[in-house]
Each structure stands twice: as C-alpha cells, then as structure tokens.
Amino acid sequence: MLPSVATALWHYGLGLLRAVRVERLEADIEGGFEEPHLTGQVYGFYQAAYGVAPAVVSRVRYRPDWSGASFDGSAGVAVAIPLYRLFYQTVVLLWELPLRKIVKLAIGTKEGVQDGQ
C-alpha cells in the first residue's frame, strides 16, 4: 500500500509542478570581484545574454561594482497554479490512491469481520 500511495503523491506533486506559471520574475543585482577583469567578464556575459534573449534578461538588472569585491541584490518572483489544474490533479490523486485500504487501516477492522463481532 505504501508504494502506491508514494507513487500517487509523487505524480500529484509533479503534476502541480508542471502546472506552475511564472507570473513575475525580477532581479536587481549590484556586484563585483576583487579583480576588475572578472567583473568585466561577468558584465560581458550579462550583455551577451541580453542580446540573445532581451525579453527574459531585461527583467534582470546587473550593475557592475568596479571598486572591489561586493555583492548586493534583491529578487522577486510570483507564481500561480490555475485552479482547474489544481482541481484536476486532486481528482487524479484521489483516483490513484487505494482509498479502500486507507479507510480499512484508519478504522482498524480486520478483513472478513462484520460490524459488532
């Protein structure tokens, strides 16, 4: 019974994870390295990524700090799960669970024993 419950919960979690939609993702980073050439390389990588995927990278702002090793930043993310997907995954979970065995285990009755015996 335990493997089937674990499998059902695993499928439920994966289904919900697949249903997650990123609504907002933003980051504001200011940082640098001890050596200025490393700061320049990171800034160059940021600019190259901005050129390749401006719609995504424009939400991440990076300001190089040329004075020395430092890191400061903030980030925000908002995710959503559509209600219909949550409902669907819950119905699938209930369908996959061995509910009869779980109820028997919770009540504590033995197989073949009638009520009142």
CB-count exposure of residue 114 (10 Å: 0-12, 13-18, 19+): exposed
pLDDT of residue 70: 93
* Distance between CA atoms of residues 26 and 77, nearest Å: 6
Q: Is residue 116 part of a domain?
A: no
Q: Which pair of tokens denotes residue 9?
A: 């919960």
Do 66 and 89 belong together in one domain?
no
Do 43 and 63 belong together in one domain?
yes
Mean pLDDT of 91-102: 81
Mean pLDDT of 83-93: 93
Do 30 and 57 belong together in one domain?
yes
Mean pLDDT of 76-86: 94
Mean pLDDT of 37-56: 92
Q: Is residue 8 part of a domain?
A: yes
Do 34 and 72 belong together in one domain?
yes
The domain in which residue 13 lies consists of: 1-20+81-107
pTM over 0.85: no
Q: Are 22 and 59 in contact (CB under 8 A)?
A: no
* Distance between CA atoms of residues 81 and 111, nearest Å: 41
pLDDT of residue 57: 86
Condensed to tens digits (0 to 9), the pLDDT of residues 67-79 reads 989 999 999 999 9
Q: Are 9 and 93 in contact (CB under 8 A)?
A: yes
pLDDT of residue 112: 63
Q: How many domains are contained in the chain?
A: 2
Query: What does R_g of the chain's alpha carbons equal in angstroms?
Result: 26
Do 51 and 36 belong together in one domain?
yes
Do 35 and 58 belong together in one domain?
yes
* Distance between CA atoms of residues 30 and 66, nearest Å: 10
Condensed to tens digits (0 to 9), the pLDDT of residues 2-30 reads 788 888 899 999 999 999 998 898 999 99
